[in-house]
Amino acid sequence: MYNFTQEQLRRYARHFSLRECGFKGQEKILKAKVLVVGAGGLGSPIAYYLAAAGVGEIGIIDGDNVDLSNLQRQILHSTEDIGIPKVESALKKLQAINPDVKITPFSYMLDSSNALEVLSQFDIIVDGCDNFATKFLINDACVLLDKPYSHGGILRFSGQSMSIKPKQSACYACIFDSPPPQGSVPNCAEAGVFGSIAGILGTIQATEVLKMITNIGGPLYNQLLSFDSLTMAFRKISLKRNPQCRVCGENGITQLQSYAQRECGL
């Protein structure tokens, strides 16, 4: 049994009050190791809420520096952080909100040469990135490593999320197969993104991760949740795993491949 300190008993009091979570659930959270890919619009609220919840170790991987145009939605960063690495800014903010949590920064981009090594160090992976190449790479690596993960994507006024449990639920490639052709989908810089929807979707993803850790409720396995913030319409689409999927199917992948880098939309 975990020996909670007096400070932890106060910090996590509202989790202890939840019958579904309680001391056992919080112990699982404190022992969990989660990797957040991307310290931007989605990664910001994801990392904030996972740190506040007390996730034992949070890895943050991102090779970008903070830019002024990020600040409209990337709430991990502030004006004084412009020009510094995003993982450095994230480390400072997350340690301030919860010194219980170990923050492990990776100040480079995830790619096929490092993905298996980095992802293997964590229990659960969260896709907070903004390009199709990395989204498919995360999916492939999680299937090879048998790691559950949360997918998310935003564009303009909309967002979508699904959770994946390799070999048991539909993976990202079961549904979308491969990245779209170059230029067929506008990127966020071209089409724009309403800043607050990153917060809506990021908190949904953080909730999915905490549910996976604690075994509370039902994560979005075999379901795609999408929303339109203009009408506040949410819907869930039922999905099925494809036995012939090129990634997780009977004759699926045995090693990682590199995808052409394309900035992402929905």
pLDDT tens digits, one per residue of 60-107: 999 999 999 999 999 999 999 999 999 999 999 999 999 999 999 999
Give the span between the Cα atoms of 88 and 108, in whole angstroms.
12
Q: How confident is the model at residue 249 (pLDDT cuts 50, 70, 90)?
A: very high
Residue 20 lies in a domain: no
Written as six digits, the tokens of 194 are: 């309403």
Q: Please provide residue 60's backbone torsions phi and psi, each rounded to the nearest 5 degrees.
A: -125, 120
pLDDT in tens, 132-165: 999 999 999 999 999 999 999 999 999 999 999 9
Written as six digits, the tokens of 96 are: 């301030």
Assess whether pLDDT exceeds 60 at residue 241: yes
**How large is the average pLDDT for residues 240-245?**
96
Assess whether pLDDT exceeds 90 at residue 191: no
Q: How confident is the model at residue 264 (pLDDT cuts 50, 70, 90)?
A: low
% of the chain beyond a pLDDT of 70: 96
Residue 8 lies in a domain: no
Residue 209 lies in a domain: yes
Residue 174 lies in a domain: yes
Give strand ranges (E) for the chain: 33-37, 57-61, 102-106, 124-127, 149-155, 158-164, 223-228, 233-238
Assess whether pLDDT exceeds 60 at residue 260: yes
Domains contained in the chain, number: 1
pLDDT at 263: 57
| pTM listed for this prediction | 0.95
Q: Which amino acid is at 42?
A: L
**Residue 108 Cα distances to 10, 113, 129, 145, 261, angstroms:** 36, 12, 13, 21, 15
Which run of H or of E encompasses 49?
Answer: helix 43-53
Which run of H or of E encompasses 197?
Answer: helix 195-214
Residue 65, classed as helix, strand or coil, is strand
Residue 255 lies in a domain: no
Strand ordering across the sheet containing 57-61: 102-106, 57-61, 33-37, 124-127, 149-155, 158-164, 223-228, 233-238
Q: Which domain range does residue 138 map to?
A: 32-238
Residue 158 lies in a domain: yes
Q: What CATH number is given to the structural domain containing 42?
A: 3.40.50.720
What DSSP letter does each residue of 155-168 carry, written as one string?
Answer: EBTEEEEEEE-TTT
Residue 160 lies in a domain: yes
Residue 19 lies in a domain: no
Give the span between the Cα atoms of 62 and 65, in whole angstroms.
9
